[in-house]
Amino acid sequence: AQSVTQLGSHVSVSEGALVLLRCNYSSSVPPYLFWYVQYPNQGLQLLLKYTTGATLVKGINGFEAEFKKSETSFHLTKPSAHMSDAAEYFCAVSEPGANSKLTFGKGITLSVRP
């Protein structure tokens, strides 16, 4: 069985500061890893994904994440926060294969202070 842990439920940063959202996973097979963003009353939008290959993955809106197998982590970062980054962020994992359901963490709400 797979699982995702996102420690804490809320992160607050100042505009222009580094954003770091943590994600640890558990999987019995090499996982596929994803970060999604959800704005209020909207669906989820894919920020970035890791499947195979380069472990540093760049996504939309200046976000990136690094897959670290030894730490079973896939932390999301952005060098400089913008007010528009305020949203809820979900880390998810899936097994490679035809049945590729996603297992999500509980999510982290990011607030950006002016």
Q: What is the tally of helices (H) and strands (E) in the chain?
A: 0, 12
State whether residue 55 is helix, strand or coil: coil
Q: Cβ 44 to other proteins, closest distance in Å?
A: 4
Binding of residue 40 to other proteins (CB under 8 A): no
User: Residues 28, 43, 54, 56: which binds other proteins (CB under 8 A)?
Assistant: 43
Q: How far apart are CA 13 and CA 68, in angstroms?
A: 24
Least distance (Å) between residue 29 CB and other proteins: 12
Report the alpha-carbon distance of residue 22 to residue 35 in Å, rounded.
11
Using CB under 8 A, which of the segments 13-21, 22-30, 47-55, 68-76 binds other proteins? 47-55
Alpha-carbon span 9 to 30, nearest angstrom: 27
Which C-beta is closer to other proteins: that of 1 or that of 56?
Answer: 1
Residue whose entry in the numeric block shows the structure tokens 């950006």: 112
| Contacts with other proteins, residue ranges (CB under 8 A) | 4, 6, 9, 32, 36, 41-46, 49, 51-52, 90, 96-107
